Structure 1
């Protein structure tokens, strides 16, 4: 099997307003370690990953370097790109600095620090057969489609609904093409799979992930992360 060059774009430029904090949520510390450091470590320790691009707030570059990279990952080199106004702008900036040898691109939220080895492996392995895939889990609740008056219009079949996560993984040429075509008309686009859905003819495959792969969005998520880490530690013992 020919080795593919796999690059990861980690998005760490968001401010996390729903956390009700003045600083970037990805610098919050769990067991004296920033959330962003947990995320980086997940990919850095995986045999499939060749290089990591961090998309950060330009004003936080010194903090990222001093409090995360130099402190926890001294012997590793990272590429840095700066975040844009919206998520899709940040991703596009990350795509622009990909290694010239990159074959596969993984795009991951920096605020998802509990992604596991199996999820990373399955998206890369899937790219050997498909050009695009995303991690997701079946929804547990019933969802309703409503109108502008909050009246229920439709109840989608639950078995057809997935909650989509990251990493989202693509052949390099596909995701670059999607962003080049759609970057100027994607104001309503919320993830990378949607860029591919809207601006290419490629179908995106869902691969099963873990419910533990949460996104740190609100204060309660910090408590959930702590419980998951404690559970994993006990399991290892």
Structure 2
């Protein structure tokens, strides 16, 4: 897992959030959403380099966040393209030649935990491409242009895809270059490798690893962080109790 690089596309404007500015700059527990995202990879011992891709007029603001929080693994803050796919391609090219494995993670997914990230990396070992996904709970139906249901998809074979997604660098670059040449745009990076004929492994994700898209998502993220803090405090109390008894208090 050495020589691992992270690409964080953070150029989306988040119109559904209705904030009037990039949702990655919204405050979550007093800090920008983007700071939560970058901090996770800053703390991971597996990560060598981080590249953040943003809108050209927001690069200075992203740089201020990086400097303020001391994220010294960030090797580049570069301008993105017209589509997310263009931004990821720019981010991959900004990584140093030493990076052989690339993780792409949304700039609006601040709740990924270090434990889940490291579990994902371990389970992804040996696969050229792997993604996080969670099994869908709802029944999914396909419909035609007239609005009539055409069929019901087997729920046990469906997943809602998340990031992080991890790839062998040469395969990810090839997929991006071939897609750009063909004018093909996928809904995520894994779909580009699928289009190219590469196999992609699905690994278990986390229900808490949500993407902040709407005000309701931000509210939910606050609640998840509050619950984590409460559980952490309870664990600290539990670990402290035996020490109290041993001290004879």
Q: Which TM-score tier does this pair reach, normalised by the shorter chain?
A: over 0.9
Residue from 3, 17, 24 that aligns with 2:22: 24
Q: Distance in 2 between matches of 1:122 and 1:149?
A: 44
Q: Distance in 2 between matches of 1:230 and 1:54?
A: 27
Q: Residues 40-189 of structure 1: matches in 2 within 5 Å?
A: 40-66=38-64, 68-73=65-70, 75-189=72-186
28-37 or 69-78, which deviates more: 69-78
Q: What's the TM-score, normalizing by structure 2?
A: 0.90
Q: Distance in 2 between matches of 1:235 and 1:88?
A: 38
1:46 Cα offset (Å): 1.0
Q: 2:189 matched to which residue of 1?
A: 192
The answer to whether residue 203 in structure 2 is matched with residue 207 in structure 1 is yes
Long gaps (5+) in structure 2:
234-249
Q: 2:5 matched to which residue of 1?
A: 7
Q: Distance in 2 between matches of 1:212 and 1:175?
A: 27
Q: Distance in 1 between matches of 2:184 and 2:17?
A: 24
Q: Distance in 1 between matches of 2:89 and 2:20?
A: 26
Q: Distance in 2 between matches of 1:132 and 1:74?
A: 27
Asked if structure 2 preserves the Cα contact closer than 8 Å seen for 1:122 and 1:207, the reply is no
Q: 2:240 matched to which residue of 1?
A: none
Number of aligned pairs?
233
Q: What's the TM-score, normalizing by structure 1?
A: 0.94
69-78 or 162-171, which deviates more: 69-78
Shift of the 126–99 alpha-carbon distance from structure 1 to 2, 3 Å rule, reads farther
Q: 1:84-105: CA deviations, max 9, x gaps?
A: 1001110111111111101110
Asked if structure 2 preserves the Cα contact closer than 8 Å seen for 1:123 and 1:168, the reply is no
Shift of the 160–124 alpha-carbon distance from structure 1 to 2, 3 Å rule, reads same
The answer to whether residue 218 in structure 2 is matched with residue 222 in structure 1 is yes
What's the RMSD between the two structures over aligned residues?
Answer: 1.4
Secondary structure of the structure 1 residue equivalent to 2:20: coil
Asked if structure 1 preserves the Cα contact closer than 8 Å seen for 2:10 and 2:24, the reply is yes
Q: Distance in 2 between matches of 1:20 and 1:185?
A: 34
Q: 1:143-201: CA deviations, max 9, x gaps?
A: 110101111011001100000000110011111111111123354411001000002x3
Asked if structure 2 preserves the Cα contact closer than 8 Å seen for 1:127 and 1:170, the reply is no
Larger radius of gyration: 2
